[in-house]
Structure 1
Amino acid sequence: MSTPPFPGAVAASRLEVYDWQAEDGLHGGTPHTHTASSEAYIVVAGSGEVHTLTPEGATADALEPGTLLWFTPGTVHRLVNSGGLEIIVVMQNSGLPEAGDAVFTFPDRVLADGDAYEAAARLPQGAPEEERAAAARARRDLALEGYRELRASVLREGGDALRRFHRSAAELVRPRVAEWQRIWREGAQREAERTGLQLASLAEGDPGLMEEAAVVRTEPLPGPRHFGMCGRLSTWRPREGGG
């Protein structure tokens, strides 16, 4: 039997939020938004804040161990690390975040040029860790430049400013949507349909999927944590188990 999918067709990772200081004196990650996926934070260590922009304006929510917070697509978010902040991140639509469902808050001059955006967003794969760290920090700083401009516009103009950013984000990800639709069909949609079939079986008194009961254990992927948008990421590799 193939490995059963993770519950709900979501993805999970463990995040050590960057402690790099920015121009405004705060430490943390790269502001961005997701275009099709909701995201949840479960804080497991340290403290900090998540700063968000929505049509309602700008907010800052405190993060401490035990905090559970989530937000929907289009919410611009910036993680601030006050000390040792570690989070379990749960994201909707399994593979979509890994397939690029994120747009950084780069300045308008970068958002308006697809090639310039891709060059600014890309990290040098296979390069030494110091070079990748420097590139991730430069990407963070460029996104913070645009974030400060966007935040000021949202405070001044309200939702209209955020809608302009959303339109730019939608245009940037448009070439990837066909592939994202395939990932969604093979992940979240398929799992929802399996649940529908199971409920139909149970309505007839048929155990259905219960006869395929299984346990899956996950192990951390080997090697150093990846340089993510908000910090160093570790993920898990599923393997079949039992007993």
Structure 2
Amino acid sequence: MLSGNPSGPRRSPVPTPDPAVHDGLPGGIGVSRLRVYDWPAADGLRGGTPHLHLTCTEGYTVVSGRGAVQTLTPAGFRQDPLAPGALVWFTPGTIHRLVNEGDLTIHVLMQNSGLPEAGDAVLTLPPHLLADPATYRAAVALPADGTEQATEAAARRRRDLAVEGFTALRAATGAGDPEPLAAFHRAAAALVRPLTPAWRERWHTGAAAAAAATDAQLDALARGDASHLAGARVRAEQPAERGRFGMCGRLDVYGTGA
């Protein structure tokens, strides 16, 4: 079961970054290349695992193929088509599900690089699997040293469980009953609460540092000081990992942090 200080988690001390320097991607975002799963689900649609993020806005730019992104918020269900050139993004709390209608490949842009990898994503599993962190982790875990076939099977099982939960949430919301979605939001917040001190450290050295660097640079320029320009540098990256089983598809992951 969950534990912790009922008045809220104590913040851990974090290092103070140089306010004029940040060499991660713009704004401290993360980027990955995603080939969306083409596995059929119970409703006949092919695609990924429905989930939400609690602190991160996410965006898609479509590289190739076609499909759609289904979203669910208290305002209701929505489906946006995805084709080359499309740009779609959504804020924290938006449940989203990628649908693959033919070789869908996208670039994913994620606010607060590192937070989703540190747990800022909760799958729409049926309520009994959201009861506590241990139960949830067991339901979503992929085998650490499994074969390709075993890892794929585990990824498909958790996808199917999340589609089951998503379908129920969509039906309730469409019928005018907001409580199941609200209950899912509460369960998601309870699951991630113990993680928030570590998230704050990642945010502090990532997105917050990027904003602080801009603030310091504007102050310098207002004084006529351009000394920070002498520290200009260039980074180039190849994927640090290729083809990893993600929630929505096979991921090529880049090391883009500061």
Runs of 4+ in structure 1 deviating by more than 6 angstroms, as ranges, are none
Correspondence list, 1:72-151, <5 A: 72-151=91-170
Q: d(CA) in 2 for partners of 1:238 and 1:154?
A: 38
What amino acid is the match of 1:206? D
- Supply the AA of the counterpart residue of 1:136: A
Show structure 1 runs of 5+ residues with no match.
Answer: none
- Among 136, 152, 169, the alignment partner of 2:188 is 169
Conserved in 2, the CA contact under 8 Å of 1:220 and 1:235? yes
User: What residue is the counterpart of 2:88 in the other structure?
Assistant: 69
Cα pair 1:3 1:238 within 8 Å, conserved: no
In the alignment of these two chains, the number of paired residues is 238
- Separation in structure 2 between the aligned mates of residue 57 and residue 46 of structure 1, nearest angstrom: 27
Note if contact 1:217-1:238 (Cα within 8 Å) is conserved in structure 2.
Answer: no
Question: Secondary structure in 1 aligned to 2:125?
Answer: coil
How far off its partner does 1:218 sit?
1.1
- Give the TM-score normalised by the residue count of structure 2: 0.88
Question: Conserved in 1, the CA contact under 8 Å of 2:70 and 2:98?
Answer: yes
In structure 2, what is the equivalent of residue 234 of structure 1?
Answer: 252
**Cα offset, 1:159, TM superposition:** 4.1
Query: Aligned partners of 1:94, 1:50: CA distance in 2, in Å?
Result: 22
Q: State the shift of 1:221 in Å.
A: 2.3
Structure 1 counterpart SS, 2:235: strand
Q: Does 1:4 align with 2:23?
A: yes
Query: What is the SS of the residue equivalent to 1:215?
Result: coil
- Stretch moving more, 141-150 or 157-166: 157-166
Q: Offset of 1:43 from its aligned partner?
A: 0.4
User: Is 1:209 the equivalent of 2:231?
Assistant: no
Task: Give, in angstroms, the shift of residue 238 of structure 1.
Answer: 5.5
Q: Deviations over 1:130-174 (max 9, x none)?
A: 110000000100111111111111112354432221111000101
Query: TM-score normalized by structure 1?
Result: 0.94
**Deviations, residues 43-66 of structure 1 (Å, cap 9, x unaligned):** 010000100001110011100000
Q: CA RMSD in A?
A: 1.7
Q: Does 1:37 align with 2:38?
A: no
Counterpart in the other structure of 1:20 = 39
CA distance in 2, matches of 1:104, 1:44: 25
**What amino acid is aligned across from residue 196 of structure 1 in structure 2?**
D
Q: Which has the higher contact order (CA 8 A, sep 6+)?
A: 2
1:200 equivalent in structure 2:
219
CA contact (8 A) 2:31 2:256 kept: no
The answer (yes or no) to whether the contact 1:29–1:230 under 8 Å persists in 2 is: yes
Where is the strand percentage greater, Structure 1 or Structure 2?
Answer: 1
Please tell me whether residue 183 in structure 1 is matched to residue 224 in structure 2.
Answer: no
Say whether residues 1:152 and 2:171 are aligned partners: yes
Give, in angstroms, the shift of residue 114 of structure 1: 2.4
After superposition, give the CA deviation of every residue in 1:186-210 in whole Å (9 maximum; x if it has no partner): 1111111111010000001111321
- Determine the C-alpha separation between the residues in 1 that align with 2:256 and 2:75: 39
Determine if contact 2:33/2:105 at 8 Å carries over to the other structure: yes
